[in-house]
């Protein structure tokens, strides 16, 4: 057991025992779902199904149903893809990077943040798949021996790098998440009274028994997977940024993209974690485990990554002038003053100004304010991708090709639909899965629990 400084705020409030932790996390799963859950689930499902309907219409009719034109061949589709992948980054950052840094506050939020990652990457993966138009030949992106002769995918292309990056990221996150879930499923299995639930959790828990040797392996696997996932998470969004950075479009062709995209991804991901957890802690009465200190830590991450993003915007702007390349200079001038100025303005306000408010301790410890900012940041980060993609494309090298993009109802429907599907998955997760990492929380109870920290022999024994 590790000791920590007495002045450090406890991570688990109240006088909890190991059994209390099990009770607090398992009760929402075992009890009947509250009415609110059914209402939210119903709304999310309807919106999600509407999105599925739009996708089916798209597949049946063709990509022409999107508001694309000869100049703007990439629009909402790729914007949404990058937005969702970005949101996914927070989960891995919390569970992998913070594990390597031995940040114990991650333990209250890693499980649901990872779930968020996986669902967000599902949503992201949907966009490149449906934009193929012919979904059923999607497997052509893999280097599979085929009847077309020596026809291989192009390994020089960043789009193919993306295929490998996203699929590796999704599958490794899924495995990392599930390996942590196994012992917690075992806890639910051993408590379950209803035969169906017992059977289900028994299958899900893989017969986990908690032997010393198994825990020894468990810790090694968690550590190595964290070590692998850390460079992975940085590489994924770098590769996503290569989709743009390796092309010769003014506004995209910049070396600053990889770090700037990764920071933006973490920024938006943490905002989404805040949005979800602030509701979840209340709805599932987990206030003792996810409290103001956790929110404050996350707000600090938002502030830091938001500042990196802000610096990147300004650097980009400066370099476009300093480079002396007139196309590049025009692209940025057009961003700020052209027909899409309102999107640029939204991006700047939401992403550069709003995180700076977190310098105030009062604001970053206010839950209501945090919730508000988390929504603002997510809107801002969607606009960031929209600005980068749209303003760079809509002014072609030839002024005769200049154009505007207006989203079609299908564009909007697919996007809104993915939000619905995302919440459908997340609500199912919150209903049937242990939303806190039980085994990890228990292991920090004696080191960071309030009642233990306040007891007189906390600093004597051990």
Question: 224 CB contacts (<8 Å, ≥6 apart)?
Answer: none
Complex with other proteins: residue 228 or 319, whichever CB lies closer:
228
**Segment interacting with other proteins (CB under 8 A) among 147-155, 298-306, 315-323, 361-369:** 147-155
Which of residues 38, 101, 152, 359 is near other proteins by CB under 8 A? 152
Which of residues 97, 132, 228, 283 is near other proteins by CB under 8 A? 228
Residue 69 sits in the site that holds other proteins (CB under 8 A):
no
Q: Which of residues 359-378 bind other proteins (CB under 8 A)?
A: none
Residue 205 sits in the site that holds other proteins (CB under 8 A):
yes
Which of residues 147, 150, 255, 400 is near other proteins by CB under 8 A? 150
Complex with other proteins: residue 43 or 153, whichever CB lies closer:
153
Considering CB under 8 A, how many residues would be counted as binding other proteins? Answer: 70
Instruction: Give yes or no for a contact between 107 and 437, defined as CB atoms under 8 angstroms apart.
Output: yes
Complex with other proteins: residue 206 or 341, whichever CB lies closer:
206
Q: Which backbone phi and psi does 449 adopt, to 5 degrees? A: -75, 145
Residue 52 sits in the site that holds other proteins (CB under 8 A):
no
How many Cβ atoms sit within 10 Å of the Cβ of residue 451? 16
Instruction: Give yes or no for a contact between 348 and 386, defined as CB atoms under 8 angstroms apart.
Output: no
Residue 12 in 3-state DSSP?
strand
Nearest approach, Cβ of residue 87 and other proteins (Å): 20
What one-character DSSP code corresponds to residue 397? S
Question: 454 CB contacts (<8 Å, ≥6 apart)?
Answer: 10
Instruction: Give yes or no for a contact between 352 and 313, defined as CB atoms under 8 angstroms apart.
Output: yes
Residue 171 sits in the site that holds other proteins (CB under 8 A):
yes
Burial class (CB in 10 A: 0-12, 13-18, 19+), 2: exposed
What one-character DSSP code corresponds to residue 349? I
- Helix or strand run (H / E) with residue 379: helix 367-394
Residue 139 sits in the site that holds other proteins (CB under 8 A):
no
Nearest approach, Cβ of residue 224 and other proteins (Å): 5
Residue 203 sits in the site that holds other proteins (CB under 8 A):
yes
Tell me the C-alpha distance between 328 and 324, whole Å.
8
Per-residue contact string for residues 207-226; x = within reach of other proteins by CB under 8 A = xxxxxxxxxxxxxxx-xxx-
Which of residues 75, 116, 126, 229 is near other proteins by CB under 8 A? 229
Nearest approach, Cβ of residue 461 and other proteins (Å): 8
How many Cβ atoms sit within 10 Å of the Cβ of residue 234? 19
Residue 3 sits in the site that holds other proteins (CB under 8 A):
no
Complex with other proteins: residue 179 or 419, whichever CB lies closer:
179
Residue 442 sits in the site that holds other proteins (CB under 8 A):
yes
Complex with other proteins: residue 171 or 323, whichever CB lies closer:
171
Closest of 304, 390, 316 to residue 82, by C-alpha: 390
Nearest approach, Cβ of residue 168 and other proteins (Å): 4
Q: Which of residues 381-440 bind other proteins (CB under 8 A)?
A: 438-440
| Paired tokens of 46 | 């309807």
Concatenating the DSSP letter of every residue in 289-353 gives TS-HHHHHHHHHHHHHHHHHHHHHHHHHHHHHHHT--HHHHHHHHHHHHSTTHHHHHHHHIIIII
Per-residue contact string for residues 6-25; x = within reach of other proteins by CB under 8 A = -----------xxx--x---
| Paired tokens of 71 | 């100049």
Residue 443 sits in the site that holds other proteins (CB under 8 A):
yes
Residue 231 sits in the site that holds other proteins (CB under 8 A):
yes
Instruction: Give yes or no for a contact between 76 and 109, defined as CB atoms under 8 angstroms apart.
Output: no
> Which position has the token pair 């103001």?
292
Tell me the C-alpha distance between 66 and 201, whole Å.
43
Q: Which backbone phi and psi does 159 adopt, to 5 degrees? A: -65, -35
Nearest approach, Cβ of residue 203 and other proteins (Å): 5
Tell me the C-alpha distance between 244 and 254, whole Å.
9
Instruction: Give yes or no for a contact between 391 and 338, defined as CB atoms under 8 angstroms apart.
Output: yes
Helices within 5-96 (DSSP H only): 18-30, 35-61, 76-92
**Segment interacting with other proteins (CB under 8 A) among 4-12, 44-52, 171-179, 372-380:** 171-179
Complex with other proteins: residue 205 or 334, whichever CB lies closer:
205
Residue 154 sits in the site that holds other proteins (CB under 8 A):
yes
Binding footprint of other proteins on the chain (CB under 8 A): 1, 17-19, 22, 143, 150-158, 160-161, 164-165, 167-168, 171-172, 175-176, 179, 182-183, 186-187, 189-191, 202-221, 223-225, 228-229, 231-232, 235, 239, 242, 438-440, 442-443, 446, 462
């Amino acid at each position: 057991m590790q000791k920590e400084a007495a002045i450090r705020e406890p991570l688990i409030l109240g006088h909890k025992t190991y059994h209390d932790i099990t009770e607090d996390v398992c009760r929402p799963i075992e009890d009947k779902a509250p009415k609110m859950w059914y209402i939210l689930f119903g709304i999310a499902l309807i919106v999600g199904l509407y999105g599925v309907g739009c996708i089916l219409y798209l597949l049946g009719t063709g990509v022409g149903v999107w508001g694309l034109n000869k100049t703007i061949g990439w629009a909402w589709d790729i914007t949404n893809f990058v937005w969702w992948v970005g949101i996914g980054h927070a989960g891995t950052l919390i569970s992998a990077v913070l594990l390597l840094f031995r940040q114990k506050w991650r333990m209250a939020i890693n499980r649901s943040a990872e779930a968020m990652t996986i669902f967000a990457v599902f949503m992201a993966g949907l966009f490149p798949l449906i934009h193929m138009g012919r979904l059923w030949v999607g497997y052509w992106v893999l280097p599979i021996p085929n009847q077309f002769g020596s026809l291989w995918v192009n390994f020089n292309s960043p789009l193919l790098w993306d295929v490998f990056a996203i699929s590796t990221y999704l599958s490794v996150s899924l495995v990392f998440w599930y390996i942590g879930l196994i012992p917690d499923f075992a806890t639910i299995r051993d408590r379950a009274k209803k035969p169906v639930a017992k059977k289900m959790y028994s299958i899900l828990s893989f017969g986990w028994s908690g032997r010393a040797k198994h825990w020894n392996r468990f810790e090694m696997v968690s550590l190595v997977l964290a070590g692998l996932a850390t460079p992975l998470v940085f590489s994924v969004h770098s590769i996503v940024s290569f989709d743009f950075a390796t092309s010769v479009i003014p506004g995209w062709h910049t070396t600053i993209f990889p770090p700037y995209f990764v920071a933006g991804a973490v920024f938006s991901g943490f905002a989404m974690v805040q949005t979800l957890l602030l509701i979840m802690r209340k709805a599932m009465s987990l206030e003792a485990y996810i409290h103001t200190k956790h929110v404050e830590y996350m707000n600090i991450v938002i502030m830091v990554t938001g500042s990196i993003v802000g610096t990147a915007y300004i650097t980009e702007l400066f370099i476009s002038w300093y480079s002396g390349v007139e196309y590049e200079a025009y692209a940025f001038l057009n961003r700020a003053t052209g027909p899409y100025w309102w999107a640029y303005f939204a991006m700047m306000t939401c992403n550069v100004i709003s995180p700076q408010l977190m310098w105030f301790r009062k604001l970053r410890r206010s839950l209501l304010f945090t919730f508000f900012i988390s929504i603002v940041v997510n809107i801002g980060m969607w606009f960031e991708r929209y600005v980068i993609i749209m303003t760079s494309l809509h002014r072609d090298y030839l002024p005769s090709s200049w154009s505007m993009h207006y989203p079609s109802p299908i564009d909007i429907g697919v996007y809104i639909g993915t939000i619905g599907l995302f919440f459908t998955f997340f609500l199912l997760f919150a209903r049937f899965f242990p939303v806190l990492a039980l085994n990890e929380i228990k292991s920090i109870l004696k080191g960071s629990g309030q009642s233990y920290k306040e007891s007189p022999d906390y600093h004597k024994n051990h």
